[in-house]
């Protein structure tokens, strides 16, 4: 016969997004059946393990396979991509050094924006969940998704549930979450296909663009995969405003944090 154990749990920061209102931002008790691991308890709560970085039991870090004891106090912390918690890291696998992404089928616009900032971002509107997970594992990519169920697969090592629905907001959220500010390489990647753009001399593209464009601009770029020539026209100015907006937002937040 299985034994019931009573444990107390508290989930921190954005992990509360996955909890019902009576469990948000507070400790709550749970009766669990033996044998159960702390990883399984977190999944029962509806939190994808890929969102969890650290679990402590009575203030001591534990791994996901830890089996809770009667009256344990369990704290669950989200992925600390933006600051270093050093040797306390136990639940999350090794952090990825190069930030590469693969996005689910709902995030096409975000994919274009991340490529605009120069981040290697795979996206197709017909990827299956299984393909996304497989490619992410093979190529060490972070999965960005609007589908909480996808992140619950035990085969997902690095994944993040994008909270915001509005497209610019999604970009801001991801840039802040992974602290990408210092790693922008804007306008170096094709927004349509993710290929790195080549710089082209003015002479080499003279038969590829209208004479007006040719005369107005001095810098040209080429995507070998799409066979397209780009220049810094009105589209570029719109993109530059989006980037400025992200940077201004960060300086405002930094300023507020300093005053706190």
Binding of residue 25 to Zn ion (CB under 5 A): no
Q: Should residue 198 be labelled a site residue for Zn ion when binding is judged by CB under 5 A?
A: no
User: Could you tell me the two tokens for 101?
Assistant: 């992404």
Lookup: tokens for 126: 């017909």
Binding residues for Zn ion, rule CB under 5 A, total 7
The verdict on 9 binding Zn ion (CB under 5 A) reads: no
| Cβ-based neighbours of 50, under 8 Å, separated by 6 or more | 79, 143, 151, 156, 157, 158, 159, 160
Min CB(117)–Zn ion separation in Å: 16
Helices (H), the chain: 38-44, 108-116, 129-139, 148-151, 167-177, 211-216, 234-259
Binding-site string for Zn ion from residue 151 to residue 190, where x marks contact by CB under 5 A and - marks none:
---------------------------------------x
CA separation for the pair 15, 32 (Å, rounded): 20
Q: How far is the CB of 198 from Zn ion (least distance, A)?
A: 11
Q: The tokens of 47 are what?
A: 């939190």
Residue of 76, 223, 239, 246 interacting with Zn ion (CB under 5 A): 223
Should residue 201 be labelled a site residue for Zn ion when binding is judged by CB under 5 A? no
Q: Can you tell me which of 44, 69, 206, 225 binds Zn ion, judged by CB under 5 A?
A: 225
Q: What is the largest CA-CA distance in the chain?
A: 82
Is 229 near Zn ion (CB under 5 A)? no
Residues at the contact surface with Zn ion, assessed by CB under 5 A? 190, 192-193, 195, 223, 225-226
């Amino acid at each position: 016969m299985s034994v019931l154990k009573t444990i107390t749990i508290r989930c921190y920061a954005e992990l509360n997004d996955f909890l019902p209102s009576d469990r948000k931002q507070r400790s709550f008790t749970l009766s669990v059946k033996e044998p159960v691991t702390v990883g399984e308890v977190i999944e029962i709560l509806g939190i994808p393990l890929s969102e969890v970085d650290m679990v402590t039991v009575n203030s001591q870090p534990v791994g996901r396979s830890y089996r809770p004891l009667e009256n344990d106090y369990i704290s669950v912390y989200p992925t600390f991509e933006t600051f270093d918690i050093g040797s306390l890291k136990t639940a999350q696998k090794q952090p990825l050094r190069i930030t590469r992404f693969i996005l689910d089928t709902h995030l096409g616009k975000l994919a274009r924006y991340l490529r605009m900032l120069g981040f290697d971002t795979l996206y197709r509107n017909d990827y299956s969940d299984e393909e996304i997970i497989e490619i992410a594992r093979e190529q060490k990519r972070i999965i960005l998704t609007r589908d909480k169920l996808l992140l619950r697969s035990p085969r997902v090592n690095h994944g993040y549930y994008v909270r915001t629905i509005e497209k610019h907001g999604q970009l801001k959220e991801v840039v802040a979450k992974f602290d990408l500010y210092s790693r922008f390489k804007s306008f170096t990647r094709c927004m349509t296909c993710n290929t790195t753009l080549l710089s082209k001399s003015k002479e080499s593209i003279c038969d590829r663009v209208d004479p007006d464009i040719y005369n107005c601009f001095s810098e040209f770029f080429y995507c070998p995969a799409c066979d397209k020539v780009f220049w810094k026209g009105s589209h570029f100015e719109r993109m530059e405003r989006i980037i400025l907006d992200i940077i201004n937002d960060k300086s405002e937040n930094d300023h507020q944090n300093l005053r706190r």
